[in-house]
Structure 1
């Protein structure tokens, strides 16, 4: 990872047909198979984040997984963990609709953490899951979520910090150290696009249910409102003719 790496999330060339970029910026030269739609292709970026997160978390057959946050990244992490053979998966959020959707996608357990202290969240998680989670994937960025993940973790558990929240976060590190936990960060993903595409093209992961809203470029303001209001999981904006 280069210390000189710099980027913008929406670089010059976006939001226009055709999409134009200097050739040196094209770093993922993977063609979509005919049976993989452009919309699924657009979802490969968050899926690559989930693939990298699950790799960093060492998700394997039978892993007991806790996912904190049921937003788009949390949901694709759920799908990825299942594809990698995870056993019991519990996902938390403060949005009941998101939790119901996670259940439809295959979560074994869901927990609404609205108004709960981190210690209360951990206690409820450990009552839901037969054994404490060995893998924690934090996708919300909330301080209380990090804290709950550490408190709920099994001894020698691995917590991957995917969410981005406050610059300074207070953590119960004495408990983490006593449990001999590993706390690992991720920055985007590395060499995961090909795996993500393989998962989708083979049918191992179905991203289509996550695409809940569609808009044309002329309706872009409606698209942003849908995302902001929390009514959508993933919003797709089509640039140019369908």
Structure 2
């Protein structure tokens, strides 16, 4: 095996570097993966630009990246179900202990969970990375590495739609058509949503949403009042949507989401904005609109793989830019500027294909 383990490391706010790290040795229940495709997430850019997200503060250099797939090159002594050569998608959140959240199947809420590229845990934007074998999932032959990497954002959509209760015939409003809004759209449609309205400031992103199956792409402006925008949604559909999935985290958009959701409906908050927000909570309360939060995802990789393998969900159009790992800084700058939808870094020098 080559000794090259080029890694993308954020050292401090605004300080992003490419540097060599040692190739790790897998423990008994771990596998060593030659990374192939790693997507850049908004959170990766946020750590680079701000050095923190909420209570997660960068205190030492950290390898970025958590949307990832690659090929196993070595397995630990206790690993039974995976072998060298297996192509795998990586679930980045691994519980460290069998606490009450783990036992109840909601391990994403465990306060001690390991999570790639969340301080102090290193991510997998590198040539070689080790991970818990239990959180690596074999990819079928007809699912590409890039699709495997996109299972991570797709999982956010699956978890959000499950929390929302999307089912056959649901009408859905999605606020924001960035990468997460678009995967929520894909999943909502796959789960049987009959009509989906999706909003954004960007006409380019709404054009992508239309391509991916949105029934009503709706351009909004910063001057639109929340109640007026909610009325526009109602006029567009002919009624208020059963479910709203808010993917921006912007205060005015959360307000719109509450006003827009029909009485007895469900609002799921996916986007993360300021810790405090002024919202019309009593409006939601007296209309029995349930407001539900989501934190990442849990138990989603098998469903996501089945969706991709069956062709029910197509995430390929989301990848608009590709860069070799050596050009990671340029790739991050492209993401920061909001170009395209999903920027993918190719970590294997000998295989730059999707």
Q: Provide TM-score, normalisation by structure 1.
A: 0.94
Greater helix content: 1
Distance 1:120 1:9 in 2: 41
CA contact (8 A) 2:268 2:292 kept: yes
Greater strand content: 2
Match for residue 45 of structure 1?
Answer: 152
- CA RMSD between the two structures: 1.4
5 Å-filtered alignment, 1:1-242, equals 1=101, 3-10=110-117, 11-12=121-122, 14-21=124-131, 23=132, 26-114=133-221, 115-241=223-349, 242=351
Match for residue 14 of structure 2?
Answer: none
Consecutive unaligned residues of structure 1, counting only runs of 5 or more, are none
Structure with greater Cα Rg = 2
**Partner-residue secondary structure (3-state), 1:145:** helix
Distance 1:109 1:180 in 2: 26
Distance 2:164 2:123 in 1: 35
* CA offsets 1:42-76 (integer angstroms, 9 cap, x no match): 00011111111001100011101000010101000
**Partner-residue secondary structure (3-state), 2:157:** helix
Task: Report how many residues are paired.
Answer: 239
Distance 2:112 2:341 in 1: 30
The alpha carbon displacement at 1:4 in A equals 2.8
**Partner-residue secondary structure (3-state), 2:264:** coil
CA contact (8 A) 2:153 2:183 kept: yes
* CA offsets 1:182-237 (integer angstroms, 9 cap, x no match): 00011111111110111001100001000111100111122112111111201100
Consecutive unaligned residues of structure 2, counting only runs of 5 or more, are 1-100, 102-108
Distance 1:27 1:66 in 2: 35
Distance 1:94 1:53 in 2: 22
Distance 1:17 1:58 in 2: 39
Distance 1:200 1:240 in 2: 23
CA contact (8 A) 2:116 2:124 kept: no
CA contact (8 A) 1:13 1:20 kept: no
* CA offsets 1:105-151 (integer angstroms, 9 cap, x no match): 11111112212111121111111112210100010000111100110
Which 4+ stretches in 1 moved above 6 angstroms? none
The alpha carbon displacement at 1:100 in A equals 1.2
